[in-house]
Amino acid sequence: AFLHGLPGVDRVGADQRAAMLGTRSIKTTAKARAIDLAISMVDLTTLEGADTRGKVRAMCVKAVHPGGGAPRVAAVCVYPDLVPVAVEAVAGSGVKVASVATAFPSGRSSLDVKVADTAFAVAAGADEIDMVIDRGAFLSGDYLKVYEEIVAVKAACGEAHLKVILETGELATYDNVRRASWLAMLAGADFIKTSTGKVSPAATLPVTLIMLEAVRDFRDRTGRQVGVKPAGGIRTTKDAVKNLVLVQETAGEDWLTPDWFRLGASSLLNDLLMQREKLATGR
């Protein structure tokens, strides 16, 4: 009843506001600061069936030492079985190790398996868990099942932070994105995340805007702050800067840190580093 009592999202208004904020122009020193801030917010990710220990080690080296004096990224994100490799590779650097869990990316498994998946990753040393919700249950209106699964996974996380992936590309409406955001936060999520990166569309600006409004309103009502992580399809420096503008103008400066905003990406870091070099050298 509470979730259906949330105000509906004005789709036209959300699309127009996101488009307007996406046209903001940031130049020179402000752009340089934005690039470094974006780098520090990246969750550098590899989630492919062909992932190897060597590929994960190489990614971790890049995460810790991006090059050119750039800051380290926020975290690396891998499958649970590769968590020990990542933990060893980033030890002492301050880079977090995140792991997907709960039958990623579909979420189609029993609660026992999802909890075991989470516990396995945490025992291996993961600092953060990225879980997927059961979209079938959510779209069927079985909100209680989704809520109880998030609560159980949060308990299995122990000290690890929990990011709840909504897979917004499958939720069909902006109203559902708002409801799923509130549902995840009420169940104890530390972060709400747009997508797995396996479904299109992924992290669109209007969806991120709606989720930022949700965390802002949730803190106003409960006093608890929750982070946001757009993931999937964020590939260029321009994309990253648009997201930072969205954070500033929607939730405010309190969210403009890696503790409360992340960018899930596999190729974004390369473009950020190239644009950083171009600003510094002209090449």
Which segments in the chain show pLDDT lower than 70? none
How far is it, in rounded angstroms, from Cα 272 to Cα 259?
A: 20
Picking from 3, 23, 20, the residue whose alpha carbon sits closest to that of residue 173 is 3
pLDDT at site 167:
97
pLDDT at site 262:
98
Neighbours of 125 (CB within 10 A): 15
Number of domains the chain is built from: 1
How far is it, in rounded angstroms, from Cα 7 to Cα 18?
A: 19
How far is it, in rounded angstroms, from Cα 61 to Cα 70?
A: 13
Give the CB-side neighbour count of residue 90, counting CA atoms within 13 A.
Answer: 30
Asked, for residue 243, whether it belongs to a domain, the answer is: yes
Asked, for residue 150, whether it belongs to a domain, the answer is: yes
Asked, for residue 210, whether it belongs to a domain, the answer is: yes
> How many residues comprise the chain?
283
Asked, for residue 266, whether it belongs to a domain, the answer is: yes
pLDDT at site 211:
98
261 phi/psi in degrees, rounded to 5:
-145, 130
Catalytic residues: 130, 193, 229
Contacts of 91 (CB under 8 A, 6+ apart): none
pLDDT at site 25:
84
Range of the domain at 31: 2-277
What are the structure tokens assigned to 216, written together?
């802002």
pLDDT at site 24:
87
Domain of 272, CATH number, reads 3.20.20.70
What are the structure tokens assigned to 68, written together?
């050119």
Asked, for residue 283, whether it belongs to a domain, the answer is: no
pLDDT at site 237:
96
Q: End-to-end CA distance of the chain, in Å?
A: 57
Helix or strand holding residue 205 (H, E): helix 205-222
Asked, for residue 181, whether it belongs to a domain, the answer is: yes
Which amino acid would we find at residue 26? I
pLDDT at site 27:
86
Q: State pTM to two decimals.
A: 0.96
Asked, for residue 83, whether it belongs to a domain, the answer is: yes
Neighbours of 241 (CB within 10 A): 22
User: E-assigned strands of 33-133?
Assistant: 42-45, 75-78, 96-101, 128-132
Asked, for residue 144, whether it belongs to a domain, the answer is: yes
